[in-house]
Amino acid sequence: MFLVSTKEMLRKAQEGGYAVPAFNIHNLETVQVVLETASEMRSPVILAGTPGTYAYAGTDYLVNICKSAARRYHMPIALHLDHHECFKDIRNKVEAGVKSAMIDGSHFPFEENIEMVKKVVQFCHGWDCTVEAELGRLGGVEDDLVVDAKDAMFTDPDAAVEFIQRTGIDSLAVAIGTAHGLYKEEPRLDFDRLAKISAKTDIPLVLHGASGVPDADVSRCIELGINKVNVATELKIAYADALKQYFIENPGANDPRHYNVTSKAAMREVIISKINVCRSADKL
Ligand code: 13P
């Protein structure tokens, strides 16, 4: 088993009416707990890393850890470039073995976004790497990317059709009211807009900013055509809160082999719950 693109797993999700969860990972422990859990539940899974994560962990480390994991769990694994903005950076990582990339040109005007995405698609498809792009703009905080709520912009369904045709992307991230990071109040998703985008397009659609979105809303998004659900913040919180609690209860602790155990267990609960919401268990 080896690293794969998201083509096959998202195609199957589209056919089966479910979503593949994409969990943001940061280090060996986060990769381990995501894959242990996904493998036990027989769920396809995408491991996502922002530019900050690859810089922190090292692209070579991440690629090789994920390759080893694919062999260990006998499952295809998609290691994904989440919110990458630079062609050269994507090229280097694809050449290093990554087969799934998001090029985020959502901050550019429409035509510039298209030009940037087309260039990435042309390169990536030559390497059997799938490409996701975003149209419209999510608010919130992801990595070093901070988008103020007033700058967030919903995806226009007609523009989405043109964007997909002209870029040749494999999946589209839509902005329908979710945001990265924590919500100050319950998000109000524009399901009608999602239904329109879904009716007019035929590639898998991606929901970013799923942390903190009620399960029923995520389910409804999946019914309306979302095939990839991105989760980062809820996992970070589970990891960090369990770690803090561990040190409160064990102030003298200093062994990562011990203090990481409860953090991984806390993450596992989130992963199980998201796989259930995505209805991706037993789809391997
Ligand atoms: P959350 O941090 O809100 O879960 O968003 C994750 C995400 O969309 C990654 O691209």
How many Cα atoms occupy the beta-carbon half-sphere of 92 within 13 Å? 11
Structure-token pair, residue 87: 């062609």
Terminal alpha carbon distance of the chain:
13
Cβ atoms within 10 Å, residue 248: 8
The reported pLDDT for the residue numbered 83 is 96
Give the residue, by CA position, lying nearest to ligand 1 atom 9: 230
Pocket test for ligand 1, best of 20, 23, 24, 218 (most atoms within 8 A of CB): 24
Collapsing DSSP to helix, strand or coil, 228 comes out as strand
Structure-token pair, residue 135: 């149209």
The reported pLDDT for the residue numbered 263 is 97
The reported pLDDT for the residue numbered 137 is 84
Phi and psi, residue 17, nearest 5°? 70, 35
Collapsing DSSP to helix, strand or coil, 168 comes out as coil
Distance (Å) from CA 253 to ligand 1 centroid: 31
d(CA 254, CA 88): 40
Strand pairing of 145-147 and 139-142? antiparallel
The reported pLDDT for the residue numbered 54 is 98
Pocket test for ligand 1, best of 106, 142, 174 (most atoms within 8 A of CB): 142
The reported pLDDT for the residue numbered 183 is 86
Considering the candidates 60, 82, 170, 192, report the single residue annotated as catalytic: 82
The reported pLDDT for the residue numbered 151 is 64
The reported pLDDT for the residue numbered 142 is 75
CB of residue 210 inside a 6 A radius of ligand 1: yes
Active-site residue flag, 104: no
Atom of ligand 1 nearest to the CA of 233: 2
CB of residue 106 inside a 6 A radius of ligand 1: no
Handedness of CA 96, 99, 104, 105 (dihedral sign): positive
For residue 69, CA distances in Å to 23, 33, 185 come to: 15, 11, 38
Instruction: Return the closest-CA partner of residue 224 out of 188, 190, 187, 194.
Output: 194
DSSP 104: -
pTM exceeds cut of 0.85: yes
Structure-token pair, residue 121: 């698609």
Give the residue, by CA position, lying nearest to ligand 1 atom 5: 209
Query: Burial of 24 by CB count in 10 Å (0-12 exposed, 13-18 middle, 19+ buried)?
Result: buried
The reported pLDDT for the residue numbered 29 is 96
Query: Burial of 88 by CB count in 10 Å (0-12 exposed, 13-18 middle, 19+ buried)?
Result: exposed
Q: Enumerate residue ranges in the chain where pLDDT < 50.
A: none
The reported pLDDT for the residue numbered 146 is 72
The reported pLDDT for the residue numbered 249 is 98
DSSP 75: S
Structure-token pair, residue 249: 């209860």
Torsion angle of alpha carbons 145, 148, 150, 151, nearest 10°? -20
The reported pLDDT for the residue numbered 149 is 67
78 contacts 129 by C-beta, under 8 angstroms: no
CB of residue 104 inside a 6 A radius of ligand 1: no
Cβ atoms within 10 Å, residue 17: 11
